[in-house]
Every structure is written in structure tokens, then in C-alpha cells.
């Protein structure tokens, strides 16, 4: 691997923030967490301030007929759109918009194939083209529960309108058709006990449970046999979990989903129900959402390391950590699932010699066994971009998020629950043998540990340091270069893991920590319960980390 070479791309068409996420192509992000009341796609409420509406129908200079509901700003240009697409979307959506980008193999649901011109999120009736404004909302807010990032902070308004124009060139529908008039939800009626009861009745009559299950958790009898029009399996999400609603979980959003349907999928529109019936249904579904499970987190945050004088405590519940500020980072779900981990809590401290990190995430079931039959364990990784990946000023030359890319290596520190378990078992065994070292026979043949997947008897740290330069290039550093310490503890439905390293390292494959100089850090979480392993994981996009 060679050190990173800058990747100059004309900066002028990109906003400053763009620099941060671009090139990560997999700038995996999403939902910055809109609340229950002001949800991601609050139809019927004020349009997002970034999306001016009500413009007159006109031709913009890209030559596309405007839908009449979008911005006709001067900054809208097909050339800019193409550039944005090639740097930020192509990796998933593919060169010709067919949804077959390089990352596709790692994702479920698949990135959208734009060629049919069928859009899931619309304010227009089922079967209609979307308004530009609808696509604008999707691009800005991302699609929770999927790998589709939220680009709101990464793209300027003009860049977003421009890329919309570019997306539209993938389908002839936009040349020959006009979107129909949008559905107006009007004012949200109050939720009453009566409306919920009525809604539940309609839920039964419409047989929504066939797909969603009577408990709304997605386990209906035909849920596992559904396909979309792009010939892909469709996942039915848990409607009681607010974190994976794609198009907002406010009552008005649900009303809109029921009125317009999710085109391309078996989720049809119900325009044949009266408005009142749809509102009642929305009241019912909304009443089943476990609002307290909503996990607010930003997809792009500046992280800071706090300067301390004393020692860094490697103990996950050491008192030292109590006074360190916590930042929440949003995780993107690469593989659809019912209870994804959507957030990590991050803390960091620095003293004269060392830097320490503490990462916490909710995981109700710890998977840490190193038995051969249970191949999937919980794990977390911190990922650092190596080399000259200057932010903001030098353009978007960061490595591809997933695993770095060629000539843009990343340094990965991975903690694994099974290694942690092995170490603890070993310590117990040592104690049992009166501190005279462990009895290898016991360990291998009679101990609690499965001999086949055998613990590395020499491992004394549950963390491994690796490098990667793209998928399939993950390489552990030699034992002599491993220089991270740390520890993980599962307690009260949560993993808490620490990482500590000396600030200085002579290894060129290690991240160099320099005072006041921002570096790029990313997170990955593997959930054993969901059979995560290798590329199957939840990830954050790059965050900026600033040392004191």
C-alpha cells in the first residue's frame, strides 16, 4: 500500500461541507433524527426551509421542464448534477443509474435503479412521477433503515437540485410525463381513543397484518415472500420502531404513506378509503410506535477529544469517563433488519502521552461466545483515514468509507466480544490454578472454551489493529506493531468499549494524532444477533475528530 495521494477534483462546484463527505462515496449516513412531532418528511407542514416551493413552471437551463413545484434557481445545472452524481452517488446507484454500483453487493435493500422512473417517496398519487420537491426531501433526509445517506449538510441546495435534474435523465418518463397534483393532507386531526379503535378496525379489514403482522412488527404471514418491481426482495420493517420509518413517523407522514403508497413495492396506496378512514388508520399505527425508542443522532458531527491531566482509565466504567462530554453518531444500516443499532455514543480524552476513546451502544443481547457454532459475535471498530486527507480546504480526497480504497488506506482498530471473553476466561483459569499460569490441557480439552475456534492463547488484548485499502484487503498488523489497549463490558443492555493508544507511533500504517489537527474517524458495529460478520455491519460516515 502506498501512502495516500491527494485526489484533486475541481472544488468550485462543491460547497464546503461537501468536501467532508465526498469521495467517501459510501459517505454512509442518514437520518439526523427528526423528532416524532417534526418528522423527516413532514408532509403538510411547512416544506423544509431549503426547498422553496411554488415556483412558476419554467425551463431551467439544464433543458428539463420544471415540475412546477421546484426551485428554478440559477445555480441549477446538469453539469454540476453530473459531477455530484459521479462523486457521491455512483458508488451505490451505478454509472447508468441502474442501482448496480460497486457497493450494491453489500447492501439490502439495493440502491434504487432510476431507469424506470418509479419513486417510493412522493406527495403525488400512486403511479405518478414524484415532484422535484419530493426527491429533494429524500436526498436531504436520506432513507432511514437503508444505506441511503442524508445529504443535507453535504450538498448545497443548488447541488441537490442539480443532481435531481441529473437523476431524471436516467428515465424517459420525465421527458414524456408530468407529475400529477400532490395529495394535500391538510390539518392533522387530533388522535382520540375512538380514532385509534376505528383505525384498528380498518387495519383488520384491509388485512394490513398479512404483511405487517397483528403486532405491526413486520412478521406477517406473507412478509417473507414479497418482491418489488425491480425484482428484489422487499423487507417489511417493524412499524413500532420509530428509527426505521423511511418517510417519517409523524401522523401526517403516515397519512401520506397510506394516501400515496410506496410505489414499486407491495405497499399500495389506499385512496379508496375516505380521508377520515386514512387518518384513523394513521392514528392507530402512530399509537403503536414506541416513541421512547427513538434515537436521535447526527450523521455528521464534529467530535472533540477532551484534554485531561491525569491518566486515561482503560476500565469502561472508570470514574474518569463520567465527566467527558458525549456525542451521538448515527449509524447506517447496510442490511435491513428489525432492530438495528442506529447510534453510537462517543467520548474521547487526551493527555500528554495518550489518547483514549470510549464507545457505547445499545445491544440487548450480548453475543460473545467463541464457540464454533456461534459464528457471529458483537464487535466494534474505529476507523481512521490515513494520509493527506485534508478536510474542507483540499477537497474531497478521503478514502472510501467502507474500507478505504486503493491508495487511500485506513487504519482500523477492532474490538471483538469473543476476544474479550477469551481473555476473561483465561484470567479465570489462571486464578483457578492459583496464579501459576494457565493449564493448557484444561483450556483446550476440558475448559469452558471450545478448542476448535480456540482462543489464541497468547492474545492478551481484545483489540486488533488492521489496515485496509478497499474491500477484501483487510490486513492485521504484525503482532509487534499492535499498540492499542482496551476493554469491553456488556452491562444493562449496552456495550461499553474503551481504546487507548500512545499519541505517537512510528508505524506509518498507524493514524498519526497531532494537536489541533482534525482527522477523520468512522465507526462500525457488528451485531452477532443479526449474524453480522465482515461487510455485514452498521457503519457511520466519516466524522471529524479534533484533538486538543
DSSP string of 352-407, one letter each residue: SSEEEEEEEEE-SS------TT-----EEEEEEE-SS---SSS-S-PPPTTT-BTT
Q: Where are the alpha helices (DSSP H) in 66-192?
A: 78-84, 90-93, 132-141, 157-168, 173-176
Of 221, 220, 234, the residue nearest 264 (C-alpha): 234
Stretch that binds ligand HEC, among 232-240, 367-375, 439-447, 513-521 (CB under 6 A): 232-240
Minimum CB separation of residue 356 from ligand HEC in Å reads 31
- Contact segment (CB under 6 A) with ligand HEC among 88-96, 182-190, 360-368, 431-439 equals 88-96
Task: Based on the shown chain and the rule CB under 6 A, indicate whether residue 107 belongs to the binding site for ligand HEC.
Answer: yes
Asked if residue 250 binds ligand HEC (CB under 6 A), the reply is no
User: Does 42 help bind ligand HEC (rule: CB under 6 A)?
Assistant: no
Q: Following DSSP, what letter does each residue of 154-177 receive, concatenated? A: TS-HHHHHHHHHHHHTT-THHHH-
Q: Residues 285 to 304: which contact ligand HEC by CB under 6 A?
A: 285
Contact 125, 272 (CB under 8 A): no
| CB 139, min distance to ligand HEC, A | 5
User: ω before 352 within 30° of 0 (cis)?
Assistant: no
End-to-end CA distance of the chain: 30
Q: Is 385 in the site for ligand HEC (CB under 6 A)?
A: no
Q: Which stretch binds ligand HEC (CB under 6 A): 147-155, 420-428, 461-469, 540-548?
A: 147-155
Q: State in angstroms the smallest separation of the CB of 384 from ligand HEC.
A: 20
Nearer to ligand HEC, 152 or 464 (CB): 152
**How far is the C-alpha of 159 from the C-alpha of 57, rounded, in Å?**
20
Q: Least CB distance from residue 45 to ligand HEC, whole Å?
A: 16
Query: By CB under 6 A, is residue 88 in contact with ligand HEC?
Result: yes
Pairing between β-strand 354-362 and β-strand 332-333 as defined by DSSP bridges: unpaired
Which grid cell sits at 11? 472544488
Q: Say whether residue 379 binds ligand HEC (CB under 6 A).
A: no
Q: Is residue 40 part of the contact set for ligand HEC (CB under 6 A)?
A: no
Q: How many residues bind ligand HEC (CB under 6 A)?
A: 53
Q: Is 519 in the site for ligand HEC (CB under 6 A)?
A: no
Tell which one of 210, 338, 459, 544 touches ligand HEC (CB under 6 A): 210
Is residue 400 at the binding interface for ligand HEC, with CB under 6 A as the rule?
A: no
Q: Of 107 and 449, which has the nearer Cβ to ligand HEC?
A: 107
Alpha-carbon span 199 to 273, nearest angstrom: 11
Q: Does 150 help bind ligand HEC (rule: CB under 6 A)?
A: no
Contact between 161 and ligand HEC per CB under 6 A: no
Q: Does 269 bind ligand HEC (CB under 6 A)?
A: no
Compute the distance between CA of residue 383 and CA of residue 378 in angstroms, rounded to an integer.
Answer: 17
**Binding mask 305-344 vs ligand HEC (x if CB under 6 A, - otherwise)?**
----------------------------------------
- Does residue 179 interact with ligand HEC by CB under 6 A? no
Q: Which is nearer to ligand HEC, 150 or 449 (CB)?
A: 150
Could you tell me the CA-to-CA distances from 478 to 3, 147, 481, 507, 509 in Å, in that order? 18, 33, 5, 11, 11
- How many whole angstroms from its chain centre is CA 159? 22
Q: Which of 11, 174, 134 is nearest to 84 (CA)?
A: 11
Q: Are 62 and 78 in contact (CB under 8 A)?
A: yes
CA separation for the pair 385, 543 (Å, rounded): 10
Please pick, from the candidates 43, 69, 93, 298, the single residue that binds ligand HEC as defined by CB under 6 A: 93
Examine residue 147 and tell whether it contacts ligand HEC (CB under 6 A): yes
Contacts of 504 (CB under 8 A, 6+ apart): 513
Q: How far apart are CA 35 and CA 30, in angstroms?
A: 14
Binding span for ligand HEC by CB under 6 A among 81-89, 312-320, 370-378, 415-423: 81-89
9 makes contact with ligand HEC (CB under 6 A): no
| Min separation Cβ 329 and ligand HEC, Å | 16
Selected from 21, 30, 150, 239, the binder of ligand HEC by CB under 6 A is: 239
Q: Which stretch binds ligand HEC (CB under 6 A): 183-191, 241-249, 457-465, 530-538?
A: 241-249
- Residue 138 binds to ligand HEC (criterion: CB under 6 A): yes
Nearer to ligand HEC, 60 or 137 (CB): 137
Query: In whole angstroms, how far apart are CA 323 and each of 115, 317, 326, 344, 365?
Result: 52, 12, 9, 18, 28
**Would you count residue 281 as binding ligand HEC (CB under 6 A)?**
yes
Q: CB–CB of 32/98 below 8 Å?
A: no
Q: 275-288 vs 251-260: helix axis angle to the nearest 10?
A: 130
Residue 269 or 484 with smaller CB distance to ligand HEC: 269
For binding to ligand HEC (CB under 6 A), which residues are involved?
25-26, 28, 84, 88-89, 91-93, 103, 107, 109, 111-112, 119-121, 135, 138-139, 143, 146-149, 151, 163, 167, 203, 206-208, 210-212, 226, 234, 236-237, 239, 245-247, 254, 257-258, 262, 265-267, 270, 281, 285
Amino acid at each position: 500500500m502506498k501512502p495516500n495521494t491527494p485526489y484533486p477534483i475541481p472544488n468550485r462546484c462543491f460547497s464546503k461541507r461537501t468536501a467532508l463527505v465526498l469521495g467517501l462515496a459510501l459517505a454512509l449516513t442518514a437520518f439526523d433524527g427528526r423528532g416524532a412531532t417534526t418528522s423527516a418528511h413532514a408532509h403538510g407542514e411547512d416544506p423544509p426551509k431549503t426547498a422553496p416551493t411554488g415556483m412558476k413552471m419554467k425551463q431551467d437551463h439544464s433543458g428539463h421542464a420544471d415540475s412546477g413545484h421546484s426551485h428554478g434557481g440559477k445555480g441549477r445545472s446538469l453539469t454540476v448534477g453530473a459531477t455530484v452524481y459521479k462523486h457521491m452517488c455512483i458508488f451505490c446507484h451505478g454509472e447508468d443509474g441502474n442501482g448496480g454500483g460497486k457497493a450494491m453487493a453489500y447492501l439490502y435493500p439495493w440502491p434504487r435503479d432510476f431507469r424506470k422512473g418509479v419513486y417510493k417517496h412522493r406527495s403525488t398519487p400512486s403511479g405518478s412521477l414524484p415532484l422535484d420537491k419530493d426527491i429533494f426531501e429524500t436526498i436531504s433526509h436520506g432513507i432511514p433503515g437503508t444505506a441511503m445517506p442524508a445529504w443535507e449538510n453535504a450538498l448545497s441546495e443548488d447541488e441537490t437540485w442539480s443532481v435531481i435534474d441529473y437523476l431524471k435523465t436516467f428515465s424517459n418518463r420525465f421527458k414524456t410525463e408530468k407529475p400529477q397534483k400532490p395529495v394535500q393532507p391538510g390539518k392533522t386531526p387530533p388522535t382520540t381513543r375512538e380514532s385509534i379503535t376505528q383505525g384498528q378496525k380498518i387495519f383488520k379489514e384491509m388485512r394490513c397484518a398479512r404483511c405487517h403482522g397483528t403486532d405491526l412488527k413486520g412478521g406477517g404471514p406473507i412478509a417473507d415472500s414479497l418482491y418489488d418491481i425491480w425484482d428484489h426482495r422487499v423487507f417489511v420493517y417493524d412499524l413500532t420502531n420509530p428509527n426505521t420509518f423511511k418517510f417519517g413517523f409523524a401522523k401526517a407522514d403516515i397519512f401520506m404513506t397510506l394516501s400515496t403508497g410506496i410505489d414499486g413495492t407491495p405497499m399500495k396506496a389506499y385512496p379508496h378509503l375516505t380521508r377520515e378512514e386514512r387518518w384513523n388508520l394513521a392514528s392507530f399505527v402512530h399509537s403503536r410506535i414506541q416513541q421512547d425508542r427513538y434515537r436521535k443522532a447526527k450523521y455528521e458531527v464534529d467530535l472533540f477529544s477532551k484534554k485531561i491531566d491525569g491518566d486515561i482509565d482503560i476500565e469502561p466504567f472508570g470514574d474518569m469517563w463520567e465527566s467527558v462530554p458525549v456525542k451521538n453518531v448515527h449509524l447506517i444500516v447496510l442490511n435491513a433488519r428489525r432492530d438495528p443499532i442506529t447510534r453510537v455514543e462517543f467520548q474521547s480524552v487526551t493527555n500528554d502521552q495518550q489518547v483514549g476513546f470510549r464507545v457505547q451502544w445499545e445491544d440487548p443481547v450480548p453475543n460473545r461466545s467463541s464457540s464454533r457454532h456461534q459464528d457471529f459475535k458483537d464487535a466494534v471498530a474505529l476507523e481512521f483515514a490515513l494520509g493527506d486527507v485534508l478536510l474542507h480546504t483540499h477537497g474531497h480526497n478521503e478514502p472510501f468509507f467502507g474500507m478505504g480504497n486503493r491508495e487511500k488506506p485506513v487504519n482500523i482498530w477492532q474490538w471483538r466480544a469473543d476476544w474479550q471473553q477469551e481473555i476473561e476466561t483465561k484470567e479465570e483459569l489462571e486464578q483457578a490454578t492459583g496464579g501459576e499460569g494457565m493449564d493448557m490441557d484444561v483450556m483446550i480439552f476440558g475448559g469452558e472454551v471450545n478448542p476448535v475456534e480456540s482462543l489464541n492463547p497468547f492474545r492478551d488484548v481484545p483489540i486488533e489493529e488492521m489496515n485496509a485499502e478497499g474491500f477484501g484487503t483487510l490486513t492485521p498488523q504484525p503482532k509487534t506493531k499492535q499498540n492499542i489497549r482496551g476493554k469491553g463490558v456488556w452491562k444493562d443492555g449496552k456495550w461499553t468499549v474503551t481504546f487507548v493508544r500512545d499519541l505517537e507511533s512510528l508505524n506509518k500504517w498507524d493514524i498519526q494524532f497531532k494537536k489541533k489537527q482534525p482527522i477523520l474517524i468512522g465507526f462500525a458495529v457488528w451485531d452477532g444477533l443479526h449474524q453480522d460478520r465482515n461487510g455485514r455491519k452498521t457503519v457511520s460516515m466519516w466524522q471529524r475528530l479534533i484533538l486538543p
